[in-house]
Structure 1
Amino acid sequence: MFGCLKKVCLKPTRKDRKNLQGRNVQTQGGQTSIPLVSVIIPCYNQAHYLPCAVESVIKQRYNNWECIMVNDGSPDNTGLVAKSLIDKYPKNQILLINQSNQGLAEARNAGIKASKGKYILPLDADDLIHPKMLQKTVSLLESHPEIAIAYTDVRYFGRVNRVVLAGEYDFKRLCFQNHLNYCSLFRRGMWEVTKGYNPNMVWGYEDWDFWISCGEKGYYGKRIPKPLFLYRVKENSMYTNAVEHHNELMAQIALNHPNLYDQPYPQEAKIRDCGSIDTLKTDPLVSVIVPTYNRHDTVKRTLESIATQTYQRIEVVVVNDGGEDVSAIIDAFRDRLQIKYLVHRENRGLAAARNTGIKNATGKYIAYLDDDDIFYSNHIETLVKYLETNNCKVAYCDAFRAWQEKDNEQYVIKQKDIPYSFDFDPDLILAQNFIPVLCIMHEKSCTDEVGIFDESLTTHEDWELWIRMSRKYHFTHIRKVTCEFTWRTDGTTMSSEKKSDFLRTMGIIFDRYREYSKDNPRILELQRMSKRRLQSGIFKIFYKLFNKTKNLFRSLFLFLI
């Protein structure tokens, strides 16, 4: 798939630069020294952050730099703020370029084109750099001419405060997961050879595409294991938009680098490009959504259960919900699974993680597997076979509940049971969730119709979606155990650890769907029973119901809160 990557030695060169006169550039006069580093700061609607970004450059211990701000047609007062910064720091080489709005890629390209430095550091207007950033990165590139990119670890600040390790440079990994920060120091000559940032990356990932272009030409990077880049985490950002359009962006990256990618990305890209799917008349693709958060110890077992499925056409969408990095575990499965690895900058909750997975899924069918649960080898085949041969869009199977206890610092299974095995009842679903999320498979088109998980719910988000879906689609129960979910008695599993929140979200759901229950004594009684058992903390309940229409008794059943 990949050819050998040659090490390129970039000898220092000093090409004549075009005079900036005639361009719409403002700078402080009297500066004649040629800077070694050019810091490029594009700005669009971030004027309120711009002073902090520039001041983080001013505070650098290394001082042979210029700073070029690019006002990318911003409708706010970016131009005025930038000019005030030029006036405030007359001893520093600070420039301003004004241009019509052309997007982040072209804004960076415009700044680099106007720059004089041998080295380039991109910095967005809402982020910061540590005072030692330039000192450390310049030192690395100056002492190692074979290295073209110097990158560091990152410290998140704002809504989230933590350090993220970047990982050592690996071009094969880079082609499928970006482990380089956009704010990395690189040689200007590399930008010239690769022709810069590609403006066709309209939703984002322009830095990732650029790093791939560099690697494709033989350039490579070196990590400095210190958090010298400070990334501001906000509720909404360009990165958030990029994650929402991950599939389109990966398809575009594949089109931009056709010599690098085998299946699946080039085929997906070509399908998106020409609108044809005639070449894919095979078994339907199933997308398995795997949210994960700080579960190194179990996510490997989860992925292994997917890799050993008897059904082959599977893509796995792993969404790291702001937890510790598991990219090394993901990479170990890339030769066995078609896998996408997406990362939330902050912990947004299970519903948001699953939603990110759904939005980036390309399969006809959606399945779910939490990072402490497993599929048995026949799970996906069983559900796909039924859905493909019956007029049904939603089906679910049964699951073992594996009771785990800690024994000598390790969790061991003490017993297994089947807490749910019920044919679908549209009334009962309004009172209690009897379908574990890992049991269900549905067409992706169902969520297009009824919507995705409600991110305002911190528990019971799956139950609420099943209710919405059940008002539109028929659910079919397959009486076969094909998967297993973990229940730890110490409360560390995804479900058991949130008992205290179940009652609150149960009340929200009861109120939300009151129109279906208010005139139905059977549903109201089921809801009262569910609430009482939850309040008392009893998880095994039995009930007996009389169906007046059929004059039959319901059998006793057991279900887990």
Structure 2
Amino acid sequence: MYAAGHDLWHPTFIFKAVSIMEADSDIILCYARTIRIDTSNEVLGLAPNNWDLRGMPATSRITYLVNNISGGDPCYGLVQLDHLKSFFKLGFGFVWGLDQVSLAYFVLQGTIAHIPEPLFYWRVTDNESVEARKDSVPFDYVPSNSQRMLNMSMPELWQQMGEATLQVISRSDLSMPEKLTCKDEVRKCFARRYGVRWNEVVPPELKSEGKNVLLATSAAPNQTPFSTGEKRPPIGVGFLISTLREAGHNVFFIDNYLSPSSFLETDYLKRHRIDFVGIYTNTICFRDSLRMFYLLEELRQRGFWNGKIIAGGPHASVCPETIPPFVDHIVIGEGEYAVRDIVSGKVTERIVHYPSIENLDELPMPAWDYFSELPYNWGGNWLPEAPVFTMNTSRGCPFSCTFCSVCSIWGKHYTYFSAERIVADIEHVVKNFGARGIYFREDNFTLKRDRLIRFCNLLMERNIRIPWVCESRVSNLDRDLVELMARAGAVGFYFGVESGSQRLLDFMKKGINVQQIRNAFLWCHELGIKTAASVIVGVPTETEDDLRMTASLLEEIKPTVTWFNIFVGIPDSELLRYAQKHDYVEFIDDRGLAYMKGHNRSVELFYGSAWDAKVPVTFENGKIASPLVSVVMSVHNGECYLRQAIQSIFCQSFLNYEFIIIDDASTDATPDILLQFKDPRLAIIRNTGNLGLTASLNIGIRAARGKYVARMDADDISVPHRLARQVESLENNPEIAVVGSSYYTMDEHGAVTGIIDVLDRPELIQRELLRQNWFGHGSVMMRKSCFEIVGGYDERFIYAQDYDLFLRLSERYKLANVTEPLYCWRESPHGISARKKAQQDYFAEMARSAASKRRGSPVCNAAKLVPATPIAPLVSVIVPTHNRPDMLATAISSILAQTMQSFEIIVVNDAGTDVRPVLERFGDRENIRHLAHETNRGLAAARNTGINAARGKYIAYLDDDDTYYPNHLETLVGYLESNDCRVAYTDANCAIQQKAANGFVTVKKEVVYSRDFDYDAILYVNFIPVLCIIHEKACLSLSGMFDEYLSRHEDWDLWIRMSRHERFAHIKTVTCEYTYRPDGSSMTSSSAPLFFETYKAVCGKYDDFVKEKPLVQARRTATMFNGAFNTFQFIGERLQSYLTNSSVTAEMLADLAPSGASFSQIKSALIWKRAVALNDGTAIPLLEIALVVDRENHPARVALCERYMRAGQYIDALRHIEYLAEVNPQEVFFTATRDTLLQAIRGTLPQGTR
């Protein structure tokens, strides 16, 4: 027994501790509850440790210890001397917190017992600041060791202690899976509780400075031949995260497949100092992968980011040639060790292909903590309770199915986790995340028979009762095996039946027979196991007889559910190659997905309208039916780069185009290259003589059938989303005749060398175009009708024909550019520009001269040809909308009723209900513009889209459920125009509405916020409703735009950034009105959890601003407390109808998912709401569990305090009231209750220490 010389013991401690330890030989340490006292023996409170680990297995003891220990007082108990000596023989040397490390050693050798009575008095003499440590750090024989510890920060000290704990685990007798589980928990805990970044937790030979790595998935497209509705955690990415963390790197994760994010359009990479961005690619979502690759490269070229790009995943493995050349690394196959070594600087090659990992057990567990709080599909069709955790326990496939590309990704070599490792993973997710079911989502879970038998037996031996489902080949099973699996918890099988025709099964090289299918389903029916049959239809060579045999087999085997999959060829699959060779393919899209002839008929028969799965373009007589865009290219002897140029068009994410190529009498290999492309959208026109570029383009455009004409040069490259962005721009801006873009420059090898920025706004282009050409010729898309009206290209111009055309177009129409680079222009010695610079200059001057004459002529004056370009409005009002068309009409009406009329209204439909019918009610108004997102991107992105299109000097905001009073714009603009200020805001009425028979009625109006601007207060509270503010658009050049990573509080975040550069003026006049509906139908009242999470996120962004502002810190703390309290009150109210359930169900998750509530919040709130209806004795342990699940459940903690106090358990009540007083020190009730409890507890102290 040991303690510091100034601590005190109760006289009964040794007797009680020895009695407990003598009765149980497994107890290595026994400690008592600790009371903290000051130097005058005054009670300061209870130390929080009160845990007893008896009865727990070793893995549970160590994980519980690291997650719950708070301070070192348990070390001051009675310990078995032999174990203490054994610990010191481990030779840790000079480590901070070695006493607590010893506890980790003890719980792996035996257990720890706790005496609940307060028998130890721990004297608090100082704190743990660097200064205080000078008196408390132990001395070492080597003085430099002591000094080194004094100089370390607290996270560094905690890391040192964590590393020693990891070594204790490594040297223990735990199995390998158990060690992996425990190490993962230690790292996670020390990162969460103590801020440890683990940038040193690697062997010395692998040590390197920890990097910040962002891993991101790609968003699903709207059109796809495969369903993308099921959203489950990406386990492969989870292994990458864990491996990188284990190597000492800091990993960030964004799942765009789950919820698309515009993080690359914000300062996310800069804010988090990201060194590497890894994009997980799959073929279905490859369009979004490409979009992100090019945005990342743009950020690098503009100097906004200087990190490295890594591509990995199935598509990168199968089709590495489709990855843009500027991507730094392409990982083929398994990525854990390859990505780790790339990030650590050990690998510099571009293509990285490591051999298979033979022993998958050595991989750390997937980063479940990254996934557990995200709104994935945590349910299961045949599993009764949520959450259901997805697992992948094997890789590779030894079979030869011709429709599959698994072998191209993983290879034929089959590797797998051991049965022990799988069970350890299951125990981990059950204990730490409350898993209620397991879905083994992998092709060959049942392939290794002995592993499967061992797995089932382990589940039963350890009494692990958890239902699970798996995917399996029917040929892997027999009845005894199915029966064993059923006894071990299997409740469902997903079988790849594919077809009822043995001929087709053999043709696809499936390696099974129809009788095996019958047997597998029969055994499952007999044993009560549910079944799913996956069937492929539309396979090349399929006949009506084959379909009838499949239907007959399905009728016989009676699966619980049948999934029909229309065959679509995937890259590098044998069956796709067969289909191409025998002319079964109708169309191959930009991703390489091949649609068979008759595909649309199969979609109507088997999918209906479940999602957009049809061939994305329509063909008639072997040609595209009605192209929206005609891409026109002229080429003369362009063999060097022609393939790349053509391929860049066939890789466009926008598909409804025709591609017209005019071969201008080439004499090299150009004609042969053109004949190699078989796409039905391609039309080749061959000139009999060399007519030159200008005449050839006129020929091509005369043949064009599209509404828009996109130019393309034969030695350049179009970015994959070029056509999509330009079509969107022209569709949303009917007054624009031409849209180009900024463009990359690249050398003759295709390496990007820079960016050429261009003017983007029409008024600037019109003013400056006569001075120089602001368009890259190949980058433009034009309205064909406008091109024809001005007479097309002037064939007198050998060069600068584009400049002459744009000048003529600008005299009738508006011209614009997209600021994002959408085109790559090759600076090549073989290009025209390098050879003919002098001639180019001559014809450019000729174009300028002709334009000057036209504009100076009284006959051809541009002002007489067309109406003058409207003067730019003073204000651009941004109106984001999503599925509220009726409210939108009211909002727009309030803007149109303004007394100041110099404004434009930019309505941004964030992928909601079509609002064009609403806008049509207001007639053909030039000052109402409509923009639309293809996918729902959130308020921040919608406002940014509006800002990018805005022409006004000032920006104003109005949400679709709010209104302006008539004097709103005049009040604010009048002030800004007459004062030296760029930002001003007024006050707003809050209209509180209640539901009535015919909708909602306003029952009360009040001004909630009316406050002069306070540059400190804005750091902890948003007191400016977004509709109240107007600012100059130029302010955003300093502050940046709305952070699209924030789903709420995006306006407050912008005000904080803007306030660091601008003076805000407050006009104390009510000029507008916003609505609030307490019933939960308004955004504010329906998403309290999201508001709480984003409040914390915004505060975290600006921690540096409040370091020297204790009052601001205190206000933030109080606000966070109230946010957590309100969040759980909100969730509790929504759970009222579910209180008969003892666990979280899929229905609860679906009901609360829109609010942003996490699984742990829902689970904690459910336990709390069920507990408060029970008597104190039953409720107390349940409320303690609710707090273990989520410690921020403050309503549960308050309820628990009340019950402890009623039961006279003042020490336990004090523990919780101290926590509440710590997290909300401004709440007088908590501090007063704490003082009252301390007075009550003092009566229990031994004589002489009261």
Cα distance, 1:504 vs. partner? Answer: 1.7
Query: Deviations along 1:491-534, whole A, 9 cap, x unmatched?
Result: 33343343221122211221211122122111011101111111
Q: Map 1:367-446; keep pairs closer than 5 Å.
A: 367-446=956-1035
Q: Is the 8 A contact 2:878 2:957 kept in 1?
A: yes
Return the alpha-carbon distance in structure 2 between the equivalents of residues 316 and 91 of structure 1. 42
- Give 1:475's match in structure 2, choosing from 1035, 1051, 1064: 1064
Which residue of structure 2 lines up, in the alignment, with residue 62 of structure 1? Answer: 621
Which residue of structure 1 lines up, in the alignment, with residue 1195 of structure 2? Answer: none
Q: Map 1:331-350; keep pairs closer than 5 Å.
A: 331-333=920-922, 338-350=927-939
Q: Is the 8 A contact 2:643 2:673 kept in 1?
A: no
Return the alpha-carbon distance in structure 1 between the equivalents of residues 1124 and 927 of structure 2. 43
Query: Deviations along 1:128-160, whole A, 9 cap, x unmatched?
Result: xxxxxxxxxxxxxxxxxxxxxxxxxxxxx9xx9
Which residue of structure 2 lines up, in the alignment, with residue 357 of structure 1? Answer: 946
2:699 counterpart letter in structure 1: K
Matching of residue 210 in structure 1 with residue 784 in structure 2: yes
Return the alpha-carbon distance in structure 2 between the equivalents of residues 354 and 496 of structure 1. 21
Which residue of structure 2 lines up, in the alignment, with residue 289 of structure 1? Answer: 878
Return the alpha-carbon distance in structure 1 between the equivalents of residues 617 and 932 of structure 2. 32
Cα distance, 1:291 vs. partner? Answer: 1.3
Return the alpha-carbon distance in structure 1 between the equivalents of residues 631 and 957 of structure 2. 47
SS at match of 1:537: helix
TM-score, structure 1 as length reference? 0.56
Q: Is the 8 A contact 1:306 1:377 kept in 2?
A: yes
Q: Is the 8 A contact 2:708 2:781 kept in 1?
A: no
- Give 1:52's match in structure 2, choosing from 589, 592, 612: 589
Note closer, same or farther for the CA distance 1:324–1:346 as it changes in structure 2 (3 Å cut): same
Q: Is the 8 A contact 1:307 1:337 kept in 2?
A: no
Which residue of structure 2 lines up, in the alignment, with residue 456 of structure 1? Answer: 1045
Note closer, same or farther for the CA distance 1:203–1:524 as it changes in structure 2 (3 Å cut): farther
- Mind listing any 5+ residue stretches in structure 1 that lack a counterpart? 1-44, 99-105, 126-156, 168-172, 179-198, 218-239, 246-254, 269-283, 546-561
Note closer, same or farther for the CA distance 1:110–1:259 as it changes in structure 2 (3 Å cut): farther
Which residue of structure 2 lines up, in the alignment, with residue 302 of structure 1? Answer: 891
Q: Map 1:64-213; keep pairs closer than 5 Å.
A: 70=633, 77-79=644-646, 86-87=675-676, 89=678, 95=684, 113-114=699-700, 175-176=734-735, 209-211=783-785
1:485 counterpart letter in structure 2: Y
Matching of residue 536 in structure 1 with residue 1137 in structure 2: no
Note closer, same or farther for the CA distance 1:200–1:258 as it changes in structure 2 (3 Å cut): farther
TM-score, structure 2 as length reference? 0.27
The structure with the largest strand share of the pair is 1
- Mind listing any 5+ residue stretches in structure 2 that lack a counterpart? 1-293, 295-320, 324-586, 595-614, 651-671, 712-720, 738-772, 792-815, 822-854, 856-860, 1130-1223, 1227-1250
Query: Deviations along 1:269-322, whole A, 9 cap, x unmatched?
Result: xxxxxxxxxxxxxxx812211112222111111111011111121122222222
Count of aligned pairs: 383
Cα distance, 1:449 vs. partner? Answer: 1.9
Q: Is the 8 A contact 1:459 1:498 kept in 2?
A: no
Return the alpha-carbon distance in structure 2 between the equivalents of residues 88 and 213 of structure 1. 29
The structure with the largest helix share of the pair is 2
Cα distance, 1:260 vs. partner? Answer: 8.3
Q: Map 1:319-334; keep pairs closer than 5 Å.
A: 319-333=908-922
1:113 counterpart letter in structure 2: I
Return the alpha-carbon distance in structure 1 between the equivalents of residues 1071 and 1003 of structure 2. 19
Deviation larger for 294-303 or 342-351: 342-351
Cα distance, 1:107 vs. partner? Answer: 10
Q: Is the 8 A contact 1:352 1:453 kept in 2?
A: yes
SS at match of 2:898: coil
Return the alpha-carbon distance in structure 2 between the equivalents of residues 398 and 446 of structure 1. 21
Return the alpha-carbon distance in structure 2 between the equivalents of residues 80 and 390 of structure 1. 56
Q: Is the 8 A contact 1:244 1:356 kept in 2?
A: no
SS at match of 1:358: helix
Deviation larger for 301-310 or 409-418: 409-418
Q: Is the 8 A contact 2:964 2:1072 kept in 1?
A: yes
Query: Deviations along 1:44-63, whole A, 9 cap, x unmatched?
Result: x9x96995269879983434
Return the alpha-carbon distance in structure 2 between the equivalents of residues 90 and 300 of structure 1. 46
Note closer, same or farther for the CA distance 1:244–1:87 as it changes in structure 2 (3 Å cut): closer
Identify which of structures 1 and 2 has the higher relative contact order when contacts are C-alpha pairs closer than 8 Å and 6+ apart. 1
1:352 counterpart letter in structure 2: A
Return the alpha-carbon distance in structure 1 between the equivalents of residues 929 and 774 of structure 2. 21
Taking every aligned residue pair, what percent have the same amino acid on both sides? Answer: 37
Cα distance, 1:346 vs. partner? Answer: 2.1
Return the alpha-carbon distance in structure 2 between the equivalents of residues 90 and 174 of structure 1. 31
1:463 counterpart letter in structure 2: W
Return the alpha-carbon distance in structure 2 between the equivalents of residues 91 and 518 of structure 1. 64
Return the alpha-carbon distance in structure 2 between the equivalents of residues 70 and 391 of structure 1. 53
* Largest Rg, 1 or 2: 2
Return the alpha-carbon distance in structure 1 between the equivalents of residues 892 and 1027 of structure 2. 13
Deviation larger for 375-384 or 312-321: 312-321
Cα distance, 1:205 vs. partner? Answer: 11
Return the alpha-carbon distance in structure 1 between the equivalents of residues 966 and 911 of structure 2. 29
Q: Is the 8 A contact 1:393 1:442 kept in 2?
A: yes
Query: Deviations along 1:175-230, whole A, 9 cap, x unmatched?
Result: 5599xxxxxxxxxxxxxxxxxxxx9876999666334567999xxxxxxxxxxxxx
SS at match of 1:345: coil
Return the alpha-carbon distance in structure 2 between the equivalents of residues 57 and 514 of structure 1. 49
Matching of residue 520 in structure 1 with residue 1109 in structure 2: yes
Q: Is the 8 A contact 2:709 2:784 kept in 1?
A: no
Matching of residue 491 in structure 1 with residue 1080 in structure 2: yes
Q: Is the 8 A contact 2:967 2:1071 kept in 1?
A: yes
1:322 counterpart letter in structure 2: A
SS at match of 2:886: helix
Query: Deviations along 1:303-360, whole A, 9 cap, x unmatched?
Result: 1101111112112222222223222333443556622222222222211111122222
Which residue of structure 2 lines up, in the alignment, with residue 557 of structure 1? Answer: none
Note closer, same or farther for the CA distance 1:291–1:520 as it changes in structure 2 (3 Å cut): same
Q: Is the 8 A contact 1:71 1:97 kept in 2?
A: no
SS at match of 1:347: coil
SS at match of 2:946: helix
CA RMSD of superposed structures (Å): 5.0
SS at match of 1:495: helix
Q: Is the 8 A contact 1:70 1:107 kept in 2?
A: no
Note closer, same or farther for the CA distance 1:243–1:413 as it changes in structure 2 (3 Å cut): farther
Note closer, same or farther for the CA distance 1:518–1:299 as it changes in structure 2 (3 Å cut): same
Which residue of structure 1 lines up, in the alignment, with residue 245 of structure 2? Answer: none
